[in-house]
Amino acid sequence: MTDSAMDAHGSRHDTACRAAAPHGLRRALWLSFPLLCACGEGRGDPVRVHVPSGASFAEVTDSLATKDIVTAPPLFGLYARVVGGTNDVKPGTYSFKRGTGWARVLDDLRAGRVLTARLVIPEGWDLQGIALRVEEITGVAADSFLNIAIDSAAVVRYGVPGPTLEGYLYPATYTFPIDASIDTVIGQMAATYRRVWTPERDARARTLDLDQREVVTLASIVEKEARRADEMPLISAVYHNRLEIGYPLQADPTVQYALGGHRARLMYADIDSVADSPYNTYRNAGLPPGPIASPSTRAIDAALNPADVDYLYFVARPDGSHIFTRSLEEHNRAKAAIRRAARAGAPAAPPSSPPGGTSTPR
The answer on pLDDT for 204 being more than 50 is yes
Domain boundaries, the chain: 31-111, 116-196, 199-344
Alpha-carbon distance of 90 to 180, in angstroms, equals 13
Burial level of 311, CB count in 10 A (0-12/13-18/19+)?
buried
CATH topology classification for 31-111? Dna Ligase; domain 1 (3.30.1490)
Q: How does pLDDT run across 89-132, given as a tens digit for each residue?
A: 999 999 999 989 999 999 999 999 999 999 999 999 999 999 99
Mean pLDDT on 232-258 = 97
- Residues making up the chain, counted from first to last: 362
CB 106 within 8 A of CB 51: no
Model's pTM, two decimal places?
0.81
Q: How does pLDDT run across 134-178, given as a tens digit for each residue?
A: 998 888 899 999 999 999 999 999 999 999 999 999 999 999 999
